[in-house]
């Protein structure tokens, strides 16, 4: 039996743990501030550029460009890019924050899947994951990291031992 644990299992343990992103955030309105936004009410799509900041509860996304749209069922879709795009969100059952960066991202509100692409990393406490592609399934609270052949093809994970409580 192999002693090695697949990277996606380590990533799931590392980032999912017992704390999850604040569920109340999903019920809060999305607020966007930017230097420029073009909104089409007919298609329910907006394109915002220059110093874009999206907030929803404790979630914060900073990007150079965000495209936001909503379908007839109310599902939201967000895509963005930047140099880099930065994310931050508080976890439900702790004071921990999850921080992330990538050059591009896509969020599908129907499936609940967010993809961080190109020079992506996620950090929670001292634990970190670096990869060309990090996918998070919000509905199942599961992460997957994978290297892509056009990148360096590797996933890098840092897991910091937790300190034992003082006696």
Domains in the chain: ranges and CATH: 7-158 (2.60.450.10)
pLDDT at residue 49, as a whole number:
96
Is 56 within 8 Å of 30 (Cβ atoms)?
Answer: yes
What confidence tens digit (pLDDT) does each residue in 4-23 have? Answer: 333 443 344 344 443 445 45
Q: Which helix (H) or strand (E) holds 55?
A: strand 45-56
Are the C-beta atoms of 121 and 135 separated by less than 8 Å?
no
SS3 breakdown of the chain: % helix, strand, coil, rounded to 5? Answer: 10, 55, 35
Please name the residue that has the structure tokens 């909503």.
Answer: 70
Q: Given a cut of 60, is residue 132 above it in pLDDT?
A: yes
Range with the poorest average pLDDT among 30-44, 84-98, 129-143, 148-162: 148-162
pLDDT band at 106 (very low <50, low <70, confident <90, very high): very high
CA distance 68 to 77: 6
């Amino acid at each position: 039996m192999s002693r090695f644990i697949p990277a996606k299992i380590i990533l799931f343990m590392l980032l999912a743990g017992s704390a999850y992103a604040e569920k109340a955030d999903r019920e809060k309105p999305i607020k966007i501030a930017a230097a420029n936004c073009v909104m089409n009410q007919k298609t329910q799509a907006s394109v915002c550029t220059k110093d874009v900041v999206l907030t929803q509860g404790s979630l914060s996304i900073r990007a150079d460009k965000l495209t936001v749209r909503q379908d007839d069922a109310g599902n939201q879709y967000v895509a963005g890019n930047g140099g880099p795009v930065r994310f931050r969100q508080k976890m439900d059952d702790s004071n921990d924050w999850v921080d992330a960066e990538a050059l591009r991202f896509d969020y599908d509100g129907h499936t609940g899947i967010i993809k961080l692409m190109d020079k992506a990393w996620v950090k929670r406490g001292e634990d970190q994951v670096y990869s060309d592609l990090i996918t998070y399934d919000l509905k199942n609270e599961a992460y997957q990291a994978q290297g892509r052949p056009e990148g360096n093809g590797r996933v890098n994970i840092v897991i910091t031992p937790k300190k034992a409580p003082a006696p």
